[in-house]
């Protein structure tokens, strides 16, 4: 459940923001507050409205309805150059005809800063992104990752209240992406500036953000910490978008404060949870089970079902056959078909260099999960 | 074994080489003759009598011809400047804004490119005769006003086309980045959009300059008796007789144009190199 945090100051406030492009509603009545010092991620598939929301914050789009406040000041209609925010563009948008130093100094020149101050602050920003000595390079002499850093330096040198990042890592290769991910995190710690990032990459959002908003078709689906998004998704949509998930239709049979029993008619088994669901007994619910929270057990010689930790015998176990195994190095993914035909995905970390239990194709297995492994979804 | 020459492997198939040579000859032989004959020591232009520079000297003695040349260069310079400004603004407007009748306006801008020059000439003649007569007897550069206006009218669409094409490759995020970093709309235009357009501006300027410099038809309709341009003057000279003097001045003009193009290419190459190094 959400951890209690010291109350922080609200820095950004979206109030009932709607944005239409002709007949298309890109953002639909979104209200959201972001607190000072957060690393906030707007997460969603392409076309969900996350970029439009960011662009309205930067001043490149005007909302059709609603208002945006920064530090309590209404900046809904303010031009981009009159907002205390700076952006790192997806394409970086480094000025190709200016060298690195002049790129970084550009914003300071617009502020009317003197030559000495400009130079000093630009050098500091270059050092911050580890590009010392690159000041006289032209942008097309830089690699993608370096250009990215120039874009970052150019934005933070302005000391904005909020730094906006539009898909900051999407154009980089996997290795570099991981590296810059840590650097972005460290940079935010060092600067203490509020970061707002747009991304379609859930890994990126989970790894970087202190809080995420999941968007879908212009609406907010859920706003929560990465751990809460993953472990306590609010809906099937969020559960499915963040990581992968096994979903079972179910009906609440027993719902007490310290445990619940859920009938899963689809697979003919009852699930035992170590907490109440808060859902009244009759409604249709879904049981969400992350692949890494499902265990594989041998079924050799007709051995009976294992008893899962914290559950009465016969609960939380399913019979199945391994259809396929994908070896991914750090872990293996098992595609298991249940007796009724439903497929369940199981992930096991490869703790040793070869599988001690030697699960193999077409093997009949038991699937089981702990009392605290599954999560109930109401929508 | 050598590979068989490809279908369009010009350099390696002799019939194609022959065609290439013929095309080259067709394109450049008249120019070569023109240049050679400008040094011909004869009043007739077709028979070689020996080398002389007299015709070049004669050109510089011909006050009317020089005046016509100065007129032409002045008109070309002025109309280039105006076309560049107008054409660039038009291109930016068409690129940036979605407004009702945009397609119509775009077509309207392109019209002078396709309208036959004679029609344009007659239209401008009537315009300056009836609608907005250009005052007579103005001091020199002002007296060229009507022709400058006419030249701007037909050359700015070319600038628009060239600039518009270049704008298509502009990353709007760069302009947004400038705004984001504190630039106003004009500053962003000046600092980011214009530098991106530089090669197109250069190409557009060259185009406008050469179009203006050698335009005959439209100028013929709009020129008054005291505003004779170089092509019009040459035409009137040729009507009496083609003397090597015409060859001489044509050669000089040719040299000037080649020099200008060469310079423009050099500038552009250096800009590219600066970006790379």
ipTM for the assembly: 0.84
A52, A58, A80: which to substitute to probe chain B, counting the most B Cβ within 10 Å? A80
Closest CA to A327 of A354, A363, A297: A354
Give the residue on B whose Cα is nearest the Cα of A140. B276
Give the residue on B whose Cα is nearest the Cα of A59. B180
Our CA dihedral for A301, A307, A312, A314, rounded to 10 degrees, sits at: -30
- The model's pTM is 0.82
Q: Report pLDDT for B1.
A: 55
DSSP string, B233-277: HHHHHHHH---HHHHHHHHHHHHHHHHHHHHHHHHHHHHHHHHH-
Question: Sign of torsion, CA A361 A363 A364 A365?
Answer: negative
Q: Report pLDDT for B181.
A: 96
Residues 6+ apart with CB under 8 A from A148: A88, A92, A168, A169, A171, A172, A180
Token pair recorded at residue A228: 């809460």
B150 strand-pairing partners: none
Give yes or no for a contact between A179 and A210, defined as CB atoms under 8 angstroms apart: no
The residue to which tokens 């009932």 are assigned: A16
Closest CA to A241 of A264, A212, A272, A209: A212
Token pair recorded at residue A335: 């595609």
- Distance between CA atoms of residues B182 and B179, nearest Å: 5
- Distance between CA atoms of residues A325 and A171, nearest Å: 31
For A161, other C-beta atoms within 10 Å of its C-beta total 16
Token pair recorded at residue A205: 């959002």
Q: Which residues of A touch B200 (CB under 8 A)?
A: none
The count of C-alpha atoms lying within 13 angstroms of the C-alpha of A189, restricted to the half-sphere facing its C-beta, is 7
CA angle B152, B170, B265 (to 5 degrees): 60
Q: Residue B176 is nearest to which of A60, A97, A154, comparing CB atoms? A: A60
Question: Sign of torsion, CA A151 A152 A154 A155?
Answer: positive
The residue to which tokens 């003649």 are assigned: B125
Q: Report pLDDT for A122.
A: 95
Any A CB within 8 A of B268 CB: no
Question: Sign of torsion, CA A190 A196 A202 A206?
Answer: positive
Q: Report pLDDT for B53.
A: 87
Q: Report pLDDT for B272.
A: 66
Do B179 and A158 lie within an 8 Å CB cutoff? no
Give yes or no for a contact between B251 and B35, defined as CB atoms under 8 angstroms apart: yes
- SS3 percent helix, strand, coil of chain B, rounded to 5, is 75, 0, 25
Question: Sign of torsion, CA B136 B138 B141 B146?
Answer: negative
Positions of chain B with pLDDT under 70: 1-2, 10, 44-45, 271-277
Any A CB within 8 A of B98 CB: no
CA angle B55, B56, B61 (to 5 degrees): 90
- Distance between CA atoms of residues B91 and A307, nearest Å: 75
Give the residue on A whose Cα is nearest the Cα of B194. A97
Q: Spell out the per-residue pLDDT of chain A, length 379, in tens.
A: 344 455 679 999 999 999 999 999 999 999 999 999 999 999 999 889 999 999 999 999 999 999 999 999 999 999 999 999 999 999 999 999 999 999 999 999 999 999 999 999 999 999 999 999 999 999 999 998 899 999 999 999 999 999 999 998 887 888 888 888 888 999 999 999 999 999 999 888 998 999 999 999 999 999 999 999 999 999 999 999 998 999 999 888 888 888 889 899 888 888 998 888 777 656 788 999 999 999 999 887 767 788 888 888 888 999 999 999 999 999 999 999 998 889 999 999 999 888 888 899 999 899 999 988 999 888 8
Radius of gyration of chain A (CA): 25
Closest CA to A172 of A141, A145, A140, A150: A145
CA distance A209 to chain B (A): 23
Give the residue on B whose Cα is nearest the Cα of A136. B277
Our CA dihedral for A312, A315, A321, A324, rounded to 10 degrees, sits at: -100
Q: Report pLDDT for B226.
A: 77
The residue to which tokens 């950004």 are assigned: A12
Pairing of strands A194-199, A162-166: parallel
pLDDT digits (tens, 9 = 90+) for A260-283: 898 998 888 889 988 887 776 567
CA distance B207 to chain A (A): 24
Question: Considering only CB atoms, which residues of chain A are within 8 Å of chain B?
Answer: 58-60, 79-81, 85-87, 89-91, 93-97, 106-107, 110-111, 138, 140-141, 151, 154-155, 158
Our CA dihedral for A43, A48, A52, A57, rounded to 10 degrees, sits at: -40
Q: Report pLDDT for B277.
A: 42
Q: Report pLDDT for B52.
A: 86
Q: Residue A97 is nearest to which of B181, B183, B195, comparing CB atoms? A: B195
Give yes or no for a contact between B212 and B77, defined as CB atoms under 8 angstroms apart: no
Residues 6+ apart with CB under 8 A from B11: B17
Give CA B208 to chain center in angstroms.
Answer: 4
- Distance between CA atoms of residues A36 and A163, nearest Å: 11
């Amino acid at each position: 459940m959400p951890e209690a945090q010291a109350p922080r100051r609200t820095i950004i406030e979206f109030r009932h923001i709607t944005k239409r492009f002709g007949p298309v509603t890109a953002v639909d009545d979104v209200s959201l507050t972001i607190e000072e010092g957060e690393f906030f991620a707007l997460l969603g598939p392409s076309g969900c409205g996350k970029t439009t929301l960011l662009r309205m914050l930067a001043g490149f789009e005007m909302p059709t309805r609603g208002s945006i406040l920064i530090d309590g000041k209404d900046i809904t209609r303010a031009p981009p150059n009159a907002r205390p925010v700076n952006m790192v563009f997806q394409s970086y948008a480094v000025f190709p005809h200016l060298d690195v130093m002049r790129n970084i100094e550009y914003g300071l020149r617009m502020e009317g800063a003197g030559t000495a101050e400009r130079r000093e602050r630009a050098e500091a920003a270059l050092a911050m992104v580890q590009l010392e000595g690159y000041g006289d390079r032209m942008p097309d002499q830089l690699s993608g990752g370096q250009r990215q850093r120039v874009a970052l330096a150019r934005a933070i040198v302005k000391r904005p209240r909020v730094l906006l990042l539009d898909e900051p890592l999407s154009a980089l290769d996997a290795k570099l992406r991981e590296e810059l991910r840590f650097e972005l995190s460290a940079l935010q710690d060092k600067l203490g500036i509020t970061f707002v990032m747009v991304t379609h990459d859930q890994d990126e959002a989970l790894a970087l953000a202190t809080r995420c908003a999941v968007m879908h078709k212009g609406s907010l689906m859920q706003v929560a910490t990465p751990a809460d998004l993953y472990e306590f998704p609010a809906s099937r949509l969020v559960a499915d978008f963040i990581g992968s998930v096994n979903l079972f239709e179910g009906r609440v049979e027993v719902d007490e404060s310290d445990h619940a029993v859920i009938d899963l008619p689809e697979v003919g088994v009852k699930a035992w949870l170590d907490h109440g669901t808060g859902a009244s007994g009759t409604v249709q619910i879904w049981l969400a089970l992350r692949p890494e929270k499902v265990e594989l057990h041998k079924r050799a010689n007709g051995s009976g079902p294992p008893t899962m930790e914290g559950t009465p015998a016969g609960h939380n176990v399913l019979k199945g056959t391994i259809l396929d195994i994908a070896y991914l190095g750090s872990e293996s993914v098992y595609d298991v078909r249940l007796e009724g035909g439903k497929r369940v995905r199981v992930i096991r970390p490869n703790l040793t260099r070869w599988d001690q239990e030697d699960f193999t194709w077409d093997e009949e297995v038991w699937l089981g999960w702990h009392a605290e492994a599954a999560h109930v979804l109401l929508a | 074994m050598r590979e068989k020459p490809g279908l369009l492997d010009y350099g390696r198939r002799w019939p194609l080489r022959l065609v290439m040579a013929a095309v080259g000859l067709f394109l450049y032989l008249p120019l070569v003759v023109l240049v050679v004959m400008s040094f011909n020591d004869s009043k007739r232009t077709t028979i070689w009598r020996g080398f002389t520079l007299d015709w070049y000297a004669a050109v510089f003695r011909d006050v009317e011809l020089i005046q016509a040349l100065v007129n032409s260069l002045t008109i070309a310079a002025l109309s280039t400047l105006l076309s560049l400004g107008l054409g660039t603004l038009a291109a930016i407007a068409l690129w940036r804004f979605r407004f009702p009748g945009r397609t119509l306006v775009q077509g309207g801008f392109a019209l002078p490119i396709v309208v036959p020059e004679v029609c344009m000439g007659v239209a401008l003649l009537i315009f300056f005769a009836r609608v907005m007569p250009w005052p007579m007897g103005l001091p020199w550069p002002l007296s060229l006003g009507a022709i400058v206006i006419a030249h701007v009218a037909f050359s700015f669409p070319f600038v628009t086309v060239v600039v518009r094409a270049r704008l298509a490759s502009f990353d709007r995020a760069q302009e947004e980045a400038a705004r984001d970093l504190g630039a106003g709309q004009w500053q962003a235009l000046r600092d980011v959009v214009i530098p991106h357009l530089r090669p197109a501006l250069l190409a557009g300027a060259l185009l406008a300059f050469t179009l203006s410099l050698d335009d005959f038809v439209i100028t013929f309709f709009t020129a008054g008796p005291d505003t004779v341009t170089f092509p019009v003057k040459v035409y009137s000279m040729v009507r009496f007789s083609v003397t090597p003097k015409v060859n001489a001045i044509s050669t000089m003009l040719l040299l000037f144009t080649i020099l200008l193009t060469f310079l423009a290419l050099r500038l552009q190459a250096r800009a590219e190199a600066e970006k790379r190094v």
